Amino acid sequence: MAALREGLPQGNIFFGVLRQAMATDVLDPVGVYFGTNTGTLFASADEGDRWSCVAQHLPAILSVETLSIDG
């Protein structure tokens, strides 16, 4: 099993992630999103292979939801 952390902060960095602060979408490949207790939101559009920070300096993130709009 390989660690999937490309794009996430490296080193001695600790984030708290609550159970409701992680979500997936219904796209293919699946997107994965999680928020931290320090107010940072991370997203992966490729099932967790690579991550991007999409928001910082928010209040503690207690929950994350996704929405798919069919058009």
Q: Count the domains in the chain.
A: 1
Residue 45 lies in a domain: yes
Residue 68 lies in a domain: no
pLDDT in tens, 9-35: 888 888 899 889 999 999 999 999 999
Residue 70 lies in a domain: no
Q: Poorest-confidence range of 5-14, 23-32, 45-54, 60-69?
A: 5-14
Which pLDDT does position 46 carry in this prediction?
Answer: 95
Q: Domain of 44?
A: 3-7+16-63
Binning pLDDT at 50, 70 and 90, where does residue 71 land? low
Are 24 and 66 in contact, with CB atoms under 8 Å apart? Answer: yes
Residue 69 lies in a domain: no
Which residues does 32 contact at the CB level (< 8 Å), separation at least 6? 22, 23, 24, 43, 44, 47, 48
Which pLDDT does position 69 carry in this prediction?
Answer: 84
Nearest partner of 32 among 66, 8, 55, judged by Cα: 66
Please state the pTM of the whole predicted model: 0.87
